[in-house]
Amino acid sequence: MTRVLVTNDDGIEAPGLHVLARAAASAGHDVTVAAPERQSSGASASITAGEEEGRIAIERRTLPGLEGVPAFAVRGGPGLIALIAAHGAFGERFDVVLSGVNHGANVGRAILHSGTVGAALTGGLNGAWGLAVSLDVGMRPEVHEWQTGAATALQVLPFLMTLERGSVVNLNVPNARSHRGVREAPLAPFGIVQTTLSERGEGHIRLAVEDLPNVPHPGSDAALLAEGYATLTGIEPVSARSVGFQEKSPAPT
């Protein structure tokens, strides 16, 4: 039986988290839920926590429809949760870190900032398979098709587990009862929303999130998602590449 940690960055009360956990449990996986006690969007892979005398607060919860599933609210972000899970905070190590279903798409290079993706990457860094799943609800959704996101994630999971341990994929799903299929896609140069400075006051600033005005790059995850496909992108927890640096003699003094 596959041990699955279900987490997110929208918080322990988020409906997308509950639907994903129920889907994973219904598929026969050994599920534990551990999620931030409050909204942690944009946390990336941060391991900052609310500590008291060096202790991270963890509270046992019972979630609707998940009465037999261990669930924990953690005073910290999703990256921290994946990290402490890898060190046995919630029992034996997990085979899979399943992060989502996020409220809003995570596409393009802007996934760098996503706590949803950050949890999956941290899981991968510590030897688990990582799957981040997000629902493209847009700015003002009338409905949330969480079931479609969760079902697509469980459809992708067997493929992910054919890859080597530590592999991480990012999945985005249209907010619809069905979609045109799952397509592998490269990251767009940008995301589908942008952060702007909406207010500058005395001693404070305020940020706002707006839709990007430009058309997505053809063939990218953002473009295929807009065309009605679920998109799958492989990402690496940590990578390095040569930049061609050559050491030079110190400048004379």
Please say whether the beta carbons of 80 and 37 come within 8 A: no
pTM equals 0.87
User: What does DSSP assign to residue 147?
Assistant: H
Evaluated on CA atoms 190, 195, 196, 200, the torsion sign reads negative
Coil/strand/helix, residue 96:
strand
Coil/strand/helix, residue 175:
coil
CA atoms within 13 A on the CB side of 23: 23
- Torsion angle of C-alpha atoms 202, 204, 209, 214, degrees rounded to 10: 60
Give the separation between CA 211 and CA 197, rounded to whole angstroms: 14
Please say whether the beta carbons of 133 and 174 come within 8 A: no
* Strand spans (E) along the chain: 3-7, 30-36, 51-52, 55-56, 58-61, 71-74, 96-103, 129-136, 168-174, 182-184, 193-201, 204-211, 230-235
Q: Output the six-digit token pair for 26.
A: 């219904």
Q: Which residues contact 15 (CB under 8 A, 6 or more apart)?
A: 144, 146
- Residue type for 36, please? P
Q: Print pLDDT tens along the chain (253 aa).
A: 899 999 999 999 999 999 999 999 999 999 999 999 987 666 666 666 666 667 888 999 999 999 999 999 999 999 999 999 999 999 999 999 999 999 999 999 988 889 999 999 999 999 999 999 999 998 788 999 999 999 999 999 999 999 999 999 999 999 999 999 999 999 998 755 555 566 677 777 665 555 555 677 899 999 999 999 999 999 988 877 787 888 877 766 6
Q: What are the structural domains, with CATH classification, of the chain?
A: 3-189+217-235 (3.40.1210.10)
The radius of gyration of the chain from alpha carbons, rounded to an integer in Å, stands at 19
Q: Which of 5, 201, 210 is nearest to 96 (CA)?
A: 5
User: What does DSSP assign to residue 20?
Assistant: H
Give the separation between CA 200 and CA 140, rounded to whole angstroms: 25
Q: Which of 170, 172, 214, 177 is nearest to 192 (CA)?
A: 214
Give the separation between CA 126 and CA 168, rounded to whole angstroms: 11
- Residue type for 99, please? S
Give the separation between CA 14 and CA 100, rounded to whole angstroms: 9
Q: Output the six-digit token pair for 152.
A: 């697509």
Total residues found in the chain within this entry? 253
Condensed to tens digits (0 to 9), the pLDDT of residues 167-217 reads 999 999 999 999 999 999 999 987 555 555 666 777 776 655 555 556 778
